[in-house]
Structure formats: C-alpha cells, structure tokens
C-alpha cells in the first residue's frame, strides 16, 4: 500500500491529526494507497515554514533560483518513466499520454526558471522633471490549488512561476490524484530546494483548500478547477483582498467549415473530443459542422472513433483509459441519460465499457457521439468533462457563432477553415480566451492562457504568470 505524506519545511510529515484517506486506482476500481487527510492545522504549519523561508528565498539571486528550479526540471526528465506510470495509475490516463505530460511538467520548471532571469519591469519618464520605475516584488506566501485532470502538469504550471518570482508556496494537489505531487516533493528534496520554500499539503478541498484560501497570511491564490469551486473561492478570498487567478470550466466548440482540410480537421477532432478521456479543460465537446459536409464528417468521425481502443491505461495500444473517479464516472453517465431525455440520438457509445481481467471493476466509458440535440439544451451547455461529444450542423457563419457563444463558458475553441478572412473574423467574434485555427492544443508557454465569462479570471503563462506572482510598486523620483 502506497502511503504518501505531506511535504512541510523540507521534510515529509504525517498530517497533524494522523488521519489518512483511500486513494483509488480508477482502472481497477480498487484502493491502492493512502493519502493524508490534512486540515487547517497542517496548513498553519506549512504557513509557518513558508513565511520563515521567505525571508531568505526572496533574497536569493536569480541565478541561484534558476539553478535549483532547473535541477528540479532535470530530475523530472530523468524520472519520466516512474512519474508517468504513477500518473497513469493514479489518474486513469494512458501511460503514453502521461509521459508527454510529465515532459511538459519539466518544461514548466525550465521555462519559468529562465523566465525569471529575463523578466523586466517598466519605467515612465515625465519629461524634464521626474522619472517613475516599477519594482516587481515577490508577494510572500502564495497558495496554488490544482485539479485532477493533468495532475503534475497543472500543479507545476503554477508552482514554477510562483517560486521563480521569489515567493514561497503552499500547494494542494487534487485529493483524487495526489501521487505525482508527492513524487515531486521527493525530487525537490533531492534538488536541494531550501526547506519551507515549497510545501505540499494533501487533503480535501473544503478542508485544506479552504484553510489556504481563508488564511490571512496567504496573499494570493492561483486556482484551477471547476467553476462552482472557483465561485466559492472568490467569495472567501475577495473580501480579504487577495490576488486571485481562477482557471475554471469550459464547454468548448470546434467549428468545422466546409472549406477546411477535411482529413486534418477530422483527425484532430478525434483528439479534441477524446484525448485523456475528454478530461482536458481544452477538449472540444461541441462539434459544429457546416451542413454541406455534415453527414460526411459525422460518418467519418464515427468510423475513426470506433477504432479507438478503450481499456488498461498501462497497455501501449490503449487510446482511452479510465474515468478518474467513481463519482465522476457516475456524473458522465448521468449526462448521457440526460442527452437521451433531451432527444439526443446516440450515434456511438452511450454506455459504460466493460474491461477484462484486473480492469473488470475499473471505471471506463465508451467514447460517445450524440446528435439531434438543441444547441442550447443542458447537454450542450453544461460541462460534462468526459468522453462525450455532441455533433450539430450549421448553415451560416453567424449561426455557427451564435451556437458557439451560447454557453456561460469561454475557455477555448478550434476553427477549421481555409478562408483566411473568415478565420480572423470568427477568431475575433468568438467569446473565448484561446482560439486555435486549423490546430488544437498547440501550446507556446509564453502566450496568455485562460478563459472569459465563467471560464475564469486572469491569465497564466509567460509574463502573465510572472506578473500575477509579483506585486508592482511604482517609485517616482523628482529631479
Ligand atoms: P474541483 O473544483 O472540484 O477541484 C479543484 C481543486 O480545488 C482540488 O484540489 C480540490 O480539492 C480543490 N477544492 C475543492 N473545494 C475547495 C474549496 N472549497 N476551497 C478550496 N479548494 C477547493 O475541480 P476538479 O473536479 O478537480 O477538476 C475539474 C475541473 O477543472 C473542470 O471543471 C475543468 O474544466 C477544470 N479545469 C480547468 C482548467 C483551466 O485551465 N481552465 C484546467 C484543468 C481543469
């Protein structure tokens, strides 16, 4: 049985109350480990360590910070296989996919270790009588809270810039997928990260997460997760005037125009729909196809998706692994039932997948494609976050935009067309923080990342993250 521990003040510790919770392997449906069921007492201990460490961490040179953060990146790379296997067992994603994500977790550390060395601030000259310059100072102790879908990747996406900017961090991974965050703490010790600079407290959101958000000493919270959790966090943190970055849910459209490169649009739509079991916030769950190619695209998509192998995430040929938890599995299946009630026709899938052998009790769902739903029904406007997509025809660009923009969300979209003017026009009119044209998930870590409407507040990535994790101070000198 894997028993993991908190990482506080540079060492591994059991939670103060000594309580642990079960950790499940979603591909077998069985408990395979124990995780700390921490509470406010552990967060207080982590805060004490972090605030003490901040006194010296904020004074480290950029070169010193670079060296230790870059060492963590190297260790993540060196341990890719072990981390990827752990991620796959913990989350249910295919192991080959976990390997890519672990590579990206290493890139996060490397990217922000170097970004801190390049980060500059502004100066404003008042002709002839004064000059202003902006100091970008670290904030102090900050909190990072992450979800279960891309566990180590999203965890490091927050921690790396926070540390690079000179803050000390209290971080909480999802209680559903804590394993690689624990392994990261081992690598931080090996890399020589000073005690207390990063503290990882495991446990439930309403316990550990809430204690972090309401702690008066934690000055900023970077959160990625569901919109309703984000709303709750904002209600606690806003009256305390904390800096907040909220990366929330999505219901992303893929808009396929008749003049697209059909094969590329088709192959990519298979991924936008079902990569990581559809459990990526950037997945496209609403496929809008121009009517003249609708039937051809729909039928070809069904054929492609039929060929995807569902099952054991550790099997190299598996394309669709297990759904992360029993609760989420039930939620996704309930949305398939809702789709039927709303008049949807199940073109493919539509039920649980029964795997064999050790995976017989795992939580698998067949990749599901639904048509004939109204574009503004609940199935088409609420986040399902699983291997379930809806496909719909449209007649005009205006209609495609109306359908695409009809949800409360606005995270990402992909547009498929060979008409350059239309691509720019739709990109400009779509309500979305991220627009991919003739591609999907092509990520440059320097670009602003985040959503509009109920998909979030603030941006991550590049300078946006460095700005979030620093406090600007204007200094005005009269001469
Ligand atoms: P969640 O909101 O349930 O949990 C996210 C994290 O918040 C977890 O660590 C959880 O323990 C913690 N948490 C829960 N309640 C809390 C509270 N009261 N106070 C503080 N922390 C609390 O989300 P999830 O189910 O883990 O993740 C799926 C969601 O994340 C989906 O909605 C998905 O779209 C979203 N997501 C968004 C992005 C993005 O970049 N916009 C990326 C990945 C996932």
pLDDT in tens, 128-152: 999 999 999 999 999 999 999 999 9
User: Average pLDDT in the 63-84 region?
Assistant: 98
Out of 87, 101, 175, 247, the active site residue is 247
Is 247 an annotated catalytic residue?
Answer: yes
Closest atom, ligand 1, to C-alpha of 172: 9
CA distance linking residue 408 with residue 114, whole number of Å: 37
Q: What's the gap between Cα 415 and its chain centre?
A: 22
User: Average pLDDT in the 42-65 region?
Assistant: 98
Mutation pick for ligand 1 pocket among 147, 156, 203, 230 (CB with most ligand atoms within 8 Å): 147
pLDDT in tens, 270-282: 999 999 999 999 9
User: Average pLDDT in the 192-198 region?
Assistant: 98
CA distance linking residue 425 with residue 299, whole number of Å: 29
Q: Which residue, chain included where needed, has tokens 């009790």?
A: 361
Ligand 1: residues within 6 Å at CB? Answer: 145-149, 154, 172, 174-175, 205-206, 209-210, 213, 224-226, 229, 232-233, 247-250, 281, 383, 385, 411, 451, 455-456
How far is the centre of ligand 1, averaged over its atoms, from the C-alpha of 246 (Å)? Answer: 10
- Whether 293 shows a pLDDT value over 80: the answer reads yes
Q: What is the pLDDT of residue 465?
A: 98
CA distance linking residue 188 with residue 182, whole number of Å: 10
Mutation pick for ligand 1 pocket among 226, 249, 468 (CB with most ligand atoms within 8 Å): 226
User: Average pLDDT in the 293-315 region?
Assistant: 98
Element (H, E) at 8: strand 6-8
Q: Print the SS3 string covering 82-93.
A: HHHHHHHHHHCC
Residues 6+ apart with CB under 8 A from 61: none
Q: Which residue, chain included where needed, has tokens 């521990």?
A: 5
Residue 206, CA distances (Å) to 30, 155, 166, 223 in order: 24, 18, 28, 14
Task: Give, using CA atoms, the residue closest to atom 20 of ligand 1.
Answer: 209
CB atoms closer than 10 angstroms to residue 475:
10
Is 168 an annotated catalytic residue?
Answer: no
Task: Give, using CA atoms, the residue closest to atom 36 of ligand 1.
Answer: 225
CA distance linking residue 395 with residue 401, whole number of Å: 11
Residue 395 has phi, psi (to 5 degrees) of: -105, -35
Reported as a pLDDT band with limits 50, 70 and 90, residue 189 is very high
- Whether 385 shows a pLDDT value over 80: the answer reads yes
Q: Which residue, chain included where needed, has tokens 């990260």?
A: 193
User: Average pLDDT in the 443-471 region?
Assistant: 98
pLDDT in tens, 87-101: 999 999 999 999 999
User: Average pLDDT in the 307-333 region?
Assistant: 98
Q: What is the pLDDT of residue 159?
A: 98
Closest atom, ligand 1, to C-alpha of 229: 2
For the chain, give the mean pLDDT: 98
Q: Evaluate if pTM is beyond 0.85.
A: yes
Q: Which of 203, 178, 176, 199 is nearest to 36 (CA)?
A: 203
Q: What is the pLDDT of residue 262?
A: 98
Task: Give, using CA atoms, the residue closest to atom 37 of ligand 1.
Answer: 248
Out of 281, 371, 460, 464, the active site residue is 281
Task: Give, using CA atoms, the residue closest to atom 23 of ligand 1.
Answer: 225
Asked if 283 contacts 272 with a C-beta cutoff of 8 angstroms, the reply is: yes
Asked if 289 contacts 393 with a C-beta cutoff of 8 angstroms, the reply is: yes
Q: What is the pLDDT of residue 1?
A: 77
Q: Which residue, chain included where needed, has tokens 């609403």?
A: 286
Reported as a pLDDT band with limits 50, 70 and 90, residue 6 is very high
- Whether 64 shows a pLDDT value over 90: the answer reads yes
> What is the 8-class DSSP label of residue 193?
P
How far is the centre of ligand 1, averaged over its atoms, from the C-alpha of 60 (Å)? Answer: 32
Q: What's the gap between Cα 247 and its chain centre?
A: 8
Domain range summary for the chain, segments of one domain joined by +: 2-248+455-478, 252-444
- Whether 328 shows a pLDDT value over 90: the answer reads yes
Closest atom, ligand 1, to C-alpha of 175: 11
Task: Give, using CA atoms, the residue closest to atom 40 of ligand 1.
Answer: 247
Could you give the angle at the alpha carbon of 187 between the alpha carbons of 24 and 112, nearest 5°? 105
CA distance linking residue 99 with residue 88, whole number of Å: 9
Q: What is the pLDDT of residue 99?
A: 98
CATH match for 2-248+455-478 among 3.40.605.10, 3.40.50.620, 3.30.70.60, 3.40.50.2300: 3.40.605.10
Q: What is the pLDDT of residue 457?
A: 97
User: Average pLDDT in the 57-64 region?
Assistant: 97
Q: What is the pLDDT of residue 123?
A: 97
Q: What's the gap between Cα 404 and its chain centre?
A: 22
Task: Give, using CA atoms, the residue closest to atom 43 of ligand 1.
Answer: 281
Q: What is the pLDDT of residue 372?
A: 97
Q: Which of 316, 269, 309, 270 is nearest to 88 (CA)?
A: 316
Percent of the chain with pLDDT over 90: 100
Q: What is the pLDDT of residue 269?
A: 98
Mutation pick for ligand 1 pocket among 205, 283, 328 (CB with most ligand atoms within 8 Å): 205
CATH match for 252-444 among 3.40.309.10, 3.40.50.300, 3.40.50.1980, 3.40.50.720: 3.40.309.10
């Amino acid at each position: 049985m894997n028993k993991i521990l908190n990482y506080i003040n540079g060492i591994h510790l059991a939670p103060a109350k000594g309580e642990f919770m079960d950790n499940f392997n979603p591909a077998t449906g069985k408990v395979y480990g124990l995780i700390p069921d921490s509470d406010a007492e552990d967060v207080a201990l982590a805060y004490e360590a972090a605030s003490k460490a901040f006194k010296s961490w904020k004074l480290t040179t950029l070169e010193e910070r670079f060296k230790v953060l870059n060492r963590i990146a190297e260790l993540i790379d060196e341990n890719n296989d072990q981390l990827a296997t752990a991620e796959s067992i913990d989350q249910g994603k295919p192991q080959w996919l976990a390997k890519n994500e672990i590579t990206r977790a290493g890139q996060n550390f490397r990217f922000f270790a170097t970004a801190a060395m390049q980060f500059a601030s502004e100066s404003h000259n008042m002709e002839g009588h004064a000059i202003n310059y902006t100091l970008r100072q670290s904030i102090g102790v900050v909190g990072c809270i992450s979800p279960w879908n891309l566990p180590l990747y999203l965890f490091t996406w927050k921690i790396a810039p926070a540390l690079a900017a000179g803050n000390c961090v209290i971080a909480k991974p999802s209680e559903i997928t804590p394993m690689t965050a624990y392994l990261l703490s081992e690598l931080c010790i090996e890399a020589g990260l000073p005690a207390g600079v990063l503290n990882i407290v495991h446990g439930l959101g309403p316990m550990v997460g809430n204690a972090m958000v309401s702690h008066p000493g934690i000055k900023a919270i970077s959160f990625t997760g569901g919109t309703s959790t984000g709303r709750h966090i904002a209600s606690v943190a806003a009256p305390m005037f904390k800096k907040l970055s909220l990366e929330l849910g999505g219901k992303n459209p893929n808009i396929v125009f008749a003049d697209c490169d059909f094969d590329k649009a088709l192959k990519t739509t298979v991924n936008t729909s079902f990569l990581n079991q559809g459990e990526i916030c950037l997945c496209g769950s609403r496929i809008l196809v121009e009517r003249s190619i609708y039937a051809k695209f729909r039928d070809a998509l069904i054929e492609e998706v039929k060929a995807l192998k569902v099952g054991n995430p550790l099997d190299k040929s598996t394309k669709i692994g297990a759904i992360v938890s029993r609760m989420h599995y039930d939620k996704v299946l309930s949305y398939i039932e809702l789709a039927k009630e709303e008049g949807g026709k199940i073109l493919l899938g539509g039920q649980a997948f029964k795997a064999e052998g050790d995976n017989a009790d795992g939580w698998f769902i067949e990749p599901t494609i639904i048509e004939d739903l109204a574009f503004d029904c609940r199935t088409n406007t609420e986040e399902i976050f699983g291997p379930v997509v809806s496909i719909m025809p449209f007649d005009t660009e205006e209609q495609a935009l109306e359908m695409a923009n009809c949800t409360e969300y606005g995270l990402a979209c992909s547009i498929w067309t060979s008409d350059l003017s239309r691509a720019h026009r739709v990109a400009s009119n779509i309500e979305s923080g991220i627009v991919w044209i003739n591609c999907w998930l092509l990520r440059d870590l320097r670009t602003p990342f985040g959503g509009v409407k109920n998909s979030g507040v603030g941006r991550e990535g590049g300078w946006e993250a460095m700005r979030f994790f620093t406090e600007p101070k204007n200094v005005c000198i009269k001469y």
